[in-house]
Structure 1
Amino acid sequence: MAKKSSRSVTLDDTDRAILALLQADASMSNAELSERLSLSLTPCWRRRRRLEEEGVIKDYQANLDRRLLGLEIMAFVQVRFATHSDQAPDDFEAVVLQLPEVIACHKITGDADYLLQVLATDLDAYSDFIEQVLRRQLGIASIQSSLALREVKSTHRVAIPGGRSGLVPRSSA
Structure 2
Amino acid sequence: MQKKNTHRALLDDTDLSILALLQEDASISNAELSERLSLSLTPCWRRRKRLEEEGVIKDYQANLDRRKLGLDIMAFVHIRFATHTDHTPEAFEAVIMQLPEVLSCHKITGDADYLLQVLAQDLDSYSDFVESVLRRQLGIASIQSSLALREVKTTSRIAIAGRTKQ
Q: How would you bin the TM-score normalised by the shorter chain? A: over 0.9
Letter paired with 2:60 = Y
2:42 aligned with 1:31, yes or no? Answer: no
1:3-42 pair list within 5 angstroms: 3-42=3-42
- Cα distance in 2, alignment partners of residues 58 and 127 from structure 1: 33
Q: Which runs of 5+ in 2 are unaligned?
A: none
Q: Give CA deviations for 1:44-102 in whole Å, capped at 9, x if unaligned.
A: 00000000000000000000000000000000000000011101000000000000000
* Partner secondary structure for residue 85 of structure 1: coil
The alpha carbon displacement at 1:169 in A equals 5.7
CA-CA distance at 1:3 after TM superposition: 2.4
Secondary structure of the 2:142 match is strand
1:142 Cα deviation from its structure 2 partner: 0.3
1:64-79 equivalent positions in 2, closer than 5 A: 64-79=64-79
Q: TM-score, normalised by structure 2?
A: 0.97
Q: CA RMSD in A?
A: 1.2
1:160 to 2:160 alignment: yes
- 2:106 is matched with 106
Please give the TM-score of this superposition, normalised by the length of structure 1: 0.93
Matches within 5 A, 1:95-134: 95-134=95-134
Distance 2:114 2:135 in 1: 14
Cα distance in structure 1, aligned partners of 2:39 and 2:90? 46
- How big is the shift at 1:5? 2.3
Structure 1 consecutive aligned stretches of length 4 or more whose deviation exceeds 3 Å: 168-171
**Aligned partner of residue 61 in structure 1, secondary structure:** coil
Q: Between the two proteins, what is the percent identity of the paired residues?
A: 78
CA deviation map 1:126-148 (0-9, x unaligned): 00000000000000000000000
The aligned residue for residue 61 of structure 1 is 61
